[in-house]
Structure 1
């Protein structure tokens, strides 16, 4: 999955490990990387959750390894799809991601129904947050200038 870089070359979407405060490794963060100008850009829809994750760690975090997929549904799905389809073209990956997002939303809606029936407020809030991370994702908005 690609998009154009400000330098005019191509940025590839990769799952990277972000190191925070030299102590915390946050794995599988979706990042666009340009090998020509060596610039990086976190995928826009996951940026707020990455900031929230870092904020929760505080200024003096203990050494740890964090899976970003547990913080963000979209990052989790991208990780799953990139592992399942490593050689997919951008168009194929778009199809796989749209299907995966749809299936995950349906699953989360089912989970929300069970959470509501059981009256579990925390479960409902968690499920609602997970749904919101997926519901606004539009492929073309983030890959529209893909080369």
Structure 2
């Protein structure tokens, strides 16, 4: 998946490891990377959760390895799809991601039903957060200037 960089060249979507405070590795963060001007851009819909993840670590975090997919549903789906279909075209990946998002939303809605039946407020809150990470994702909004 690609989009045009500010420098005019192509940025590829990759899963990167973000290092915070030289002690924390946050794996599988969806990032656009331009090899020409060496700039990077975190995929916009996951940026708030990455910021929240970093803020919870504090200024002096202990050495650790964090899977971003465990904190963000969209990042998890990108990870799954990019591993399963590494050679997919942008169009194929768009269709695969749309299908994967729909399936995950349906699964989370089922989970929400169980959480509500069991009156588990923490489970309900977690499921609502996970649904929110997916519900607003619109492919064209983030890949509209794809090459």
Q: TM-score, normalised by structure 1?
A: 1.00
Q: Tell me, in whole angstroms, the C-alpha distance in 1 between the residues paired with 2:71 and 2:62.
A: 18
Q: Tell me, in whole angstroms, the C-alpha distance in 1 between the residues paired with 2:92 and 2:47.
A: 25
Could you tell me which residue of structure 1 aligns to residue 87 of structure 2?
87
The Cα shift of 1:113 comes to 0.2
Helix, strand or coil for the counterpart of 1:14?
strand
CA deviation profile, 1:7-38 (whole Å, cap 9, x unmatched): 00000000000000000000000000000000
Q: Tell me, in whole angstroms, the C-alpha distance in 1 between the residues paired with 2:64 and 2:84.
A: 27
Could you tell me which residue of structure 2 aligns to residue 33 of structure 1?
33
Could you tell me which residue of structure 2 aligns to residue 123 of structure 1?
123
Write out the 4+ residue segments of structure 1 that deviate beyond 3 Å after TM superposition. none
Q: Which runs of 5+ in 1 are unaligned?
A: none
CA deviation profile, 1:87-145 (whole Å, cap 9, x unmatched): 00000000000000000000000000000000000000000000000000000000000
The total of aligned residue pairs comes to: 147
Q: Tell me, in whole angstroms, the C-alpha distance in 2 between the residues paired with 1:56 and 1:70.
A: 15
Q: Aligned pair 1:58/2:58, yes or no?
A: yes
Q: Tell me, in whole angstroms, the C-alpha distance in 1 between the residues paired with 2:51 and 2:133.
A: 14
Q: Aligned pair 1:111/2:111, yes or no?
A: yes
Could you tell me which residue of structure 1 aligns to residue 69 of structure 2?
69
Q: TM-score, normalised by structure 2?
A: 1.00
